[in-house]
A and B are shown apart, each in its own frame.
Chain A
């Protein structure tokens, strides 16, 4: 079941299109990765959900119900850690979480629970200015979990962490999944997606080019990502050829995998007269990061 669905999300900064018709779904109790290089539109997209960015277009569905801009449901059921953790440094960790708990109507007991979860209970009375980056990141996770949300949105959670920190973060994310949470994380690190994500989408220049489950991705080794002008015609021909399977279609991108020993030559023969902008061999996720 899809917990969250995005349809045609677009955002412009003046004439610059930061996001162009982003569409994908996040399954329930998944670790969903939004993968993309720097400047691909991941962070802009992550800021749309909590209402940090205004004036976007498109639709968001949560449990098949359409959500309005700045919906309280989006904030009540979601926990966010957007980019680097930024706290009121002159306050202690506990005082910081009290600020958040007060406006989320959460009891003070919950503060100790989340601080225990991220291993900061012993340092709760220290000023945040004395925390290392890794500790701030963990405190950021604690604030995201404070109101016990269903979905946790983490923007580049491993950024700036040392290998131990990354290991702890990975464990924590997996633990949250085991508790029934759905986690949506953005990253530019392929390894993060391969190691912990159950599903993913890839952002490139403000467009999400593919959205699929990791299981499909890993199982199929001979895949091709096509970018075509007339996708319906292309899909019809590919299906009719019986040489390839259509795995996924997003915008004008089609992800296909070959049956038996079909090659790129076969694909070119099938689509020879269509405007075919790009064919990428999808042996691994890194192909999506290659320059056009």
Chain B
């Protein structure tokens, strides 16, 4: 299994497309942080709004923590796109290129190949999410420095510098669970598909529908939303509530876990029994 996992790492990480997400994050984040820095005054005025009539603000609320919070909250809904890059191709790519015809003739079980591929998908997703969160934090700190974080939850909530980092860890952890579900879904489509485009389109379509259900205020949607993994894509916002609603985080864990399990089980059954005729 370790040898198979090592092989899958080589197969995935020697491909250029694996690094698209990392490159995108690397270039995009500094641009956004510089833009926030450049427009800090105007941004600050928009946030303060009419509050300036009631409060006296000393210093700037636009700092590294605020910038990171803003970047993650805005870009998190786009991360499913990036999380499909590796899983979309990891099985379907081998079907379409015919490499399975040689690889699966070796004295290895298909089940072991399946799980080594799944591990690589999870490794990639976690690395990408970690990089997204903490690279944003690093660049934001580097350019804008430290400071208190102002968020809106039941009014204005001011979080102290020592009360912020663990919240970023918490949001990373649970956002990652959601992305692992997205990656599992894409992995499932990859096990059925003969090309890498179909899994991406199918996954994003489902995420889009799921997200729409979360945002449309209709009773029936509000009932089913807690049971959909897509309903937790913006769970990062909840990490900065006070107190943190841990029951929702627990729900998030169970829902994403169950959905991932369902996706993996179907993919496994299909992969094990599929004829390699391509």
Contact = CB atoms under 8 A, between A and B. Distances in A.
Contacts of A85: 102
Interface stretch (B3-11, B20-28, B36-44): B3-11
A224 B139 CA distance: 83
A55 B273 contact: yes
B78 interface: no
A47 B106 CA distance: 13
Given A47-B276, A84-B98, A90-B14, A52 B104 contact: yes
A55 B141 CA distance: 59
A50 B105 contact: yes
A275 to B, nearest CB: 35
B133 to A, nearest CB: 29
A76 B107 CA distance: 6
Contacts of A86: 97-99, 101-102
B14 A75 contact: no
B119 interface: no
Nearest to B276: A52
A58 to B, nearest CB: 16
B107 A75 contact: yes
Given A54-B275, A75-B107, A91-B14, A102 B7 contact: yes
A232 B76 CA distance: 75
A87 interface: yes
Q: How large is the interface on A (under 10, 10 to 19, 20 to 34, 35 or more residues)?
A: 20 to 34
Q: How large is the interface on B (under 10, 10 to 19, 20 to 34, 35 or more residues)?
A: 20 to 34
B99 A87 contact: yes
Contact of B11 (A51, A82, A99, A104): A99
Contacts of A53: 275-277
Contacts of A50: 104-105
Interface in A51-65: 51-55
A103 B4 contact: yes
A85 B10 CA distance: 20
Interface string B150-190: 00000000000000000000000000000000000000000
B10 A99 contact: yes
Interface in B177-211: none
Contacts, number: 82
Given A102-B7, A103-B7, A82 B101 contact: yes
Interface string A134-174: 00000010010000000000000000000000000000000
A273 B4 CA distance: 62
B15 interface: yes
B248 interface: no
Contacts of B15: 90
B108 interface: yes
Interface in A32-78: 44, 47, 50-55, 70, 72, 75-76, 78
Interface string B251-278: 0000000000000000000000111110
Interface in B77-120: 97-110
B11 A88 contact: yes
Contacts of A81: 102
A51 B100 CA distance: 11
Contact of A72 (B3, B4, B107): B107
B270 to A, nearest CB: 11
A24 interface: no
Interface string A80-109: 111111111111000100011011100000
Contacts of B276: 47, 52-53
Given A53-B275, A75-B107, A100 B102 contact: yes
Contacts of A99: 7, 10-11, 103
Contacts of B99: 86-88
Contacts of B97: 86, 89
Q: Which of B97, B105, B108, B274 has the most CB of A within 10 A?
A: B105
Contact of B102 (A51, A91, A140): A140
Given A53-B275, A90-B14, A104 B107 contact: yes
A103 B110 CA distance: 12
A281 to B, nearest CB: 36
A75 B105 contact: yes
B277 A103 contact: no
A13 to B, nearest CB: 8
Q: Which of B16, B99, B106, B274 has the most CB of A within 10 A?
A: B106
B278 to A, nearest CB: 9
Contacts of A70: 109-110
B107 A52 contact: no
Of all A-B residue pairs in the complex, the 8 with the closest CB atoms, nearest first, are: A86-B98, A50-B105, A52-B276, A75-B107, A80-B105, A82-B101, A102-B3, A53-B275
Interface of B: 3-4, 6-7, 10-11, 14-16, 97-110, 273-277
12 contacts: A52-B105, A54-B274, A70-B109, A84-B98, A86-B102, A90-B14, A91-B10, A91-B14, A99-B10, A104-B106, A104-B107, A140-B102
Interface of A: 44, 47, 50-55, 70, 72, 75-76, 78, 80-91, 95, 99-100, 102-104, 140, 143
Given A88-B14, A103-B4, 6 more contacts: A53-B275, A53-B276, A70-B110, A80-B102, A102-B3, A103-B3
